[in-house]
Amino acid sequence: MAESSASPRFGYGEDAHRLGDGLELWLGGVRIPSERGAVAHSDGDVVLHALSDALLSAFALGDIGAYFPDHDPRWKGLESGVILDLVLQRVHEKGYRPAQISAVVVLDKPRLGPYRESIQKNLARLLGLPEERVGLTFKTSEGLAPDHVQCRAMVYLEPLP
């Protein structure tokens, strides 16, 4: 049976980076004051990476590693907003747009609560969504992964009007 073009889609993605002294910590396109940041080839923004994979996964388009190989010098220090933009283009080509996201950041330190609003605002801007459709929660790892920053993200997509 032919699939209805009007059916909604969902996608799930994850990312993790090791934390290193004196590096920048970027989450959802926002720089978070922190003694440690992501050890990464790009800016190491686990939120944008998990979201980008979730968006690709919704259409079985593989993952961001295929578009931005981490051995390619062109992508060194890459701002992850560029990755998300490219992925959103693919989503639009499929005739869809993100309608809601739900993301969890797992990080022991620093506390992220004070930055929730600015991260939500920036994600809403990047995705073209109202802030109330950008769910963002924080968890410590309870010491299970004190040297990592992780993100798990779900996205719900609707056909373009």
Where along the sequence are the contacts to Mg ion (CB under 5 A)? 15, 49
Distance CA 133, CA 69 (A): 31
Q: How far is the CB of 70 from Mg ion (least distance, A)?
A: 8
**Is there binding between residue 111 and ligand C5P (CB under 6 A)?**
yes
Nearer to ligand C5P, 76 or 139 (CB): 139
User: If residue 84 lies in a helix (H) or strand (E), which one and from where to where?
Assistant: helix 80-93
Segment holding 85, helix H or strand E: helix 80-93
3-state secondary structure of 160: coil
With respect to ligand C5P, which residue has the nearer C-beta, 88 or 112? 112
Closest separation in Å from C-beta 114 to ligand C5P? 8
Minimal distance, residue 28 CB to Mg ion, in Å? 13
Would you say 83 or 107 has its CB closer to ligand C5P?
Answer: 107
Q: What does 140 interact with, of Mg ion, ligand C5P, none (CB < 5 to 8 A by kind)?
A: ligand C5P
Tell me whether residue 12 or residue 138 sits nearer to ligand C5P (CB atom).
Answer: 138
Residues 161 and 15: beta-carbon distance below 8 Å: no
| Residue 49 contact among Mg ion, ligand C5P, none, beta carbon within 5 to 8 Å by kind | Mg ion
d(CA 109, CA 34): 8
Choice between 151 and 157, CB closer to Mg ion: 151
Lookup result for tokens 């920036």: 122
Least distance CB 160 / Mg ion (angstroms): 28
What's the rounded Cα separation, in Å, for the pair 66 and 47?
Answer: 18
Preceding peptide of 110 cis, ω within 30°: yes
Contacts with 125 (C-beta within 8 Å, 6 or more apart), sequence order: none
Whose CB is nearest to Mg ion? 49
Residue ranges in contact with ligand C5P by CB under 6 A: 107, 111-113, 138-140
